[in-house]
Amino acid sequence: MSRLVVAVVLVAAAILVAWVLQRRGRSGEPVRAPTFHVPERLDRTDFGRPDASWLVVIFTSATCDTCAAVSDKARALESDAVAVQEVEARTQRHLHDRYQIDAVPLVVMADHAGLVRASFVGPVPAADLWSAMAGLRGQPPPRG
């Protein structure tokens, strides 16, 4: 008889533990990807070459492993019509604060009026940067 009582207690404990673990796993809300602030507009006078038709700004940090690669890819967009500028968090903190940058690397593409027309948070392939800029400028992306 005592074995039966022990077995019943163990089964009840196992059921209780399973129920608690199952309830902990459910929060009732769907899992959401993190969102980061992307400015809607840039003051073109905050950056070099305000007269260029397009501005590409790469917000970076010296402590970010991915930032250098993204910056190198974005710098390839530089041309007479496209100004490209890197804004590092430690040396240009005022711009990170002004535009509420909370994640790096962040690449923003703004038109002549400073309206942000495209953005990329995190690592981004060079082809995506080229394609976005070509689309904004109304040109086909380069081949190769």
Tens-digit pLDDT profile for residues 45-96: 999 999 999 999 999 999 998 999 999 999 999 999 999 999 999 999 999 9
Q: Mean of the pLDDT values across residues 111-126? A: 94
The answer as to whether 11 is a domain residue is no
Residue 123 and residue 70 in contact, taking contact as beta carbons nearer than 8 Å = yes
Q: What local confidence, expressed as pLDDT, does residue 144 receive?
A: 46
Does 144 fall in a domain? no
Number of domains within the chain: 1
**Does 131 fall in a domain?**
yes
In a domain, 13, yes or no: no
Residue 36's pLDDT is: 83
In whole angstroms, give the CA distance from residue 27 to residue 117: 36
**pLDDT score for 46:** 96
Q: Give the structural domain span for 55.
A: 44-137
Q: Is residue 33 part of a domain?
A: no
Q: How far apart are CA 86 and CA 15, in angstroms?
A: 57
* pLDDT classification of 3: cutoffs 50, 70, 90: confident
CA distances from 18 to 5, 10, 29, 51, 140 (A): 20, 12, 21, 65, 58
Give residue 118's pLDDT band: very low, low, confident or very high (50, 70, 90): very high
